[in-house]
Amino acid sequence: MMKFDPLELQTDQVYKLLSGSVVPRPIAWVSSISKEGILNLAPYSFFTVASRKPPMLCISIGPGVGERSGTVKDTLENIRATGEFVINISSASLGNEVQKTSENYSSEVDEFEAAGLTPIPGELVKPMRIKEAPIQMECKLNQIIKLGTDHLVIGEMVMFHIQEQVYKAEYKVDLEQLRPLARLANKFSEIEHIYSLPDQEKK
């Protein structure tokens, strides 16, 4: 078995090992708004539930990359400034739009418009929801924790929206209808085979 000491590796090498091992990862399609009212939209796969009561979600936001290396991402700046954001959940059919919003745009660009998506108002927060997204969760900032080069953003979910076709009654989500988009290293995946354990088919 091979072994790697993270202290002896470069940041991108450790990232490749982590992002290829911690899979599949759900994608938080985060919409925010700047103090000037510019809409922002970006996907984050370092994402999970942080608390059930009160309901809290968390995303980890890294530093800018490529042309924006050394800068703070617009999502983090907007959440710091307004204390609000929306986590939208994408179905596999919206994969191209998710990828489009991951590109490095300048702060003046409206990613909703760039990706051809429809912004709709939240009920309790100012950032817009994605009309096409089957699930939208309005969040208010609880805290931001700096962890190394990244920032862990924890938000309390204050309103939950779900399209009727992916709602399964009794507060359950129909995962087969949702067809959630997942992240696998630097690729994407659609989860198709859903089963319970122990898996009777494997016996």
* DSSP character string of the chain: -----GGGS-HHHHHHHHHHHS-SEE-EEEEEE-TT--EEEEEESSEEEEEETTEEEEEEE----GGGTTS--HHHHHHHHHSEEEEEE-BGGGHHHHHHTTS---TT--HHHHHT--EE--SSSSSPEETTSSEEEEEEEEEEEEETTEEEEEEEEEEEEE-GGGB-STT-B-HHHH-BEEEETTEEEE------SS-GGG-
CATH of the domain at 179: 2.30.110.10
pLDDT at 202: 57
Q: Does residue 196 lie in a domain region?
A: no
Q: Does residue 127 lie in a domain region?
A: yes
pLDDT at 133: 98
69 pLDDT above the threshold of 70: no
Q: Does residue 62 lie in a domain region?
A: yes
Share of the chain above pLDDT 70, in %: 96
Domain limits for position 164: 25-186
Q: Does residue 197 lie in a domain region?
A: no
pLDDT at 203: 52
Q: Does residue 68 lie in a domain region?
A: yes
- Number of folded domains in the chain? 1
201 pLDDT above the threshold of 70: no
The arithmetic mean of pLDDT across residues 38-53, rounded, is 97
Q: Does residue 124 lie in a domain region?
A: yes
Q: Does residue 119 lie in a domain region?
A: yes
Q: Does residue 191 lie in a domain region?
A: no
87 pLDDT above the threshold of 90: yes
